Amino acid sequence: MAQSVTTMLKDGQEYMKTWPLRKELYALFPDCRVVAATRFAIKVMPPLAVLACASIINVMGSEHIPQAIAIGAFFLSMPMQGLLWLGHRSNQTLPPAIQSWYQEIHSKMREQGCTVQRYKGKPKYRELARLLKTAFEDLDKAFTRNWF
């Protein structure tokens, strides 16, 4: 089922807030780098777009307004590209290797007495993000060192 762009952007924002940015996960998942880059782009690109547009119009004159608008739109689209990628990623089903890893972590967390969501037959990346966030927040560091 195809999703609308607005739904993917909302899913991307939710996934960006949920995904734990931990050094242990950077080598395993590209999501960490995309989340960090998207957060950076959300902060930096709007002022950079204004600066680029203003400088183009100031240096080249008002006859270059269309080019300035195009460059500004490009800078403003960069955070949206990251959010779209994250929204799409959050709705993907986990591959079999990561799915078995998810199941192991889920069962170990349940054994430790953590409150986790019920195990789903085909978990998605958003469930993995919630599980990892819970693991890093609720469990002691010794347990997380054994798994990561």
Domain count, the chain: 2
Same domain flag for 75 and 34: yes
Same domain flag for 79 and 24: yes
pTM over 0.75, yes/no: yes
pLDDT of 65 above 90: yes
- Identify the bridge partners of residue 93 per DSSP, sorted by sequence position: 124
Average pLDDT over residues 61-87: 96
Same domain flag for 78 and 148: no
Query: 8: domain range?
Result: 1-91
pLDDT of 54 above 70: yes
Amino acid identity of residue 65, one-letter, is I
Same domain flag for 121 and 50: no
Same domain flag for 80 and 57: yes
